[in-house]
Amino acid sequence: MKKPEILQVGPYPESDQERLDARFTMHRYFDADDKTAFLNDVAPGIRGIATRGELGASRQIIEALPNLEVISVYGVGYDAVDLDAAKERNVGVSNTPNVLTGDVADMAVAMMLAQARGMIGADAWVRSGNWASKGFYGTRARAFGKRVGILGLGRIGYAVAKRLAAFDMDIAYTSTGEKDLAESWTYCADTRSLAERSDFLFVTLAASAETRHIVNQEVIEALGPDGILINVSRAANVDEEALLSALEKGTLGAAALDVFEGEPKINPRFLTLDNILLQPHIGSATPETRRAMGDLMYENLVAHFEGGDLVTPIL
């Protein structure tokens, strides 16, 4: 039987790649020098797209593939997939929810603690010999017992809040509406008031056109000169220009980011700041989670081509 042909938008770990190559004919879009020519060449045979959260599938790619049936995303975020274009063409879309929730939440909490307590600077203090020559590194912000804002109490936001509850933190959240929760966390109707009452603001919101720059200058200023912003969702949820200028002026205390506009080529202004913790989009990057994401991405493709329903469908 002829193997289904898949357009592969980005690279995967070796074991995922081997399994995909065994079951499908994978066309490596990311390896092509002339992407337009490559796409024209392979387009008629392509029935599926395998992509990653941050790479997605644009309208241009979807429209270039006349026989496209399914898009399988390796990642929970599907904001980079043009869902309208997929809908118009009746193309199924799946992602990899749940399996990465715990690791992304761990990472968000680690970023808060590292930034609040100045751990990166402290490490440099030891390595540079400053501890021996100059002495005490200094005091840094306390985390436990402080006020936390969770911008988007979805799966990841909830997992972050659960962890922070164990730090006796005062937790508030925004969501599409007040949630019926067992926990007595405070619901805030808008982002600004959430930021205003928070020492730490976590951005754990699925990105969409509606949430673009939801963390704007006003929200950043409401978080204030002692506040810390942690973003483990998508860069587009934060107005990066406003964030940079607030960090430069000190109108925001500090930030910890795992996601950036135009990543992996980030704005060089970030590199000159010492009140920012920079992470290379590694929230879900543990072997266990990446294996589970690879399994789910593969299982969705197999389910579709065996005539079944997608395991974790978005569309």
Supply the residues annotated as catalytic.
Answer: 234, 263, 281
Measured in degrees and rounded to the nearest 5, phi and psi for residue 4 equal -60, 145
Q: How far apart are CA 173 and CA 153, in angstroms?
A: 6
> Smallest distance, Å, CB 106 to ligand 8YV?
13
Q: What is the arrangement of strands in the sheet containing 200-203, beginning at the earlier edge strand?
A: 186-187, 170-174, 147-151, 200-203, 228-231, 254-257, 276-278
User: Is 47 or 290 the residue whose CB approaches ligand 8YV more closely?
Assistant: 290
**How near is the Cβ of 74 to ligand 8YV at its closest, in Å?**
5
Is 77:95 a contact under the CB 8 Å cutoff? yes
Distance CA 175, CA 184 (A): 15
By beta-carbon proximity to ligand 8YV, the closer residue of 101 and 198 is 101
The least distance separating ligand 8YV from the CB of residue 52, rounded to whole angstroms, comes to 3
Which CB sits closer to ligand 8YV, 223 or 277?
Answer: 277
Residue nearest to ligand 8YV (CB): 75
Neighbours of 128 (CB within 10 A): 11
Q: Where are the beta strands (DSSP E) in the chain?
A: 5-8, 25-28, 46-52, 70-74, 92-94, 147-151, 170-174, 186-187, 200-203, 228-231, 254-257, 276-278
Residue whose CB is less far from ligand 8YV, 86 or 141: 86
Determine the distance from the C-alpha atom of residue 26 to the mean position of all C-alpha atoms in its chain, rounded to a whole number.
26
Q: How far is the CB of 110 from ligand 8YV (least distance, A)?
A: 16
User: In this complex, which beta carbon is closest to ligand 8YV, that of residue 47 or of residue 52?
Assistant: 52
Closest C-alpha to 178, from 189, 162, 193? 189
Angle at 234 between CA 232 and CA 237, to 5 degrees: 110
Residues that bind ligand 8YV in the complex, under the rule CB under 6 A: 52-54, 74-77, 100, 281, 283-284
For ligand 8YV, the closer of residues 52 and 304 by Cβ is: 52
Let me know: does 10 contact 51? Beta carbons within 8 Å: yes
And the tokens for 308?
């079944």
Closest distance to ligand 8YV from the beta carbon of 218 (Å): 27
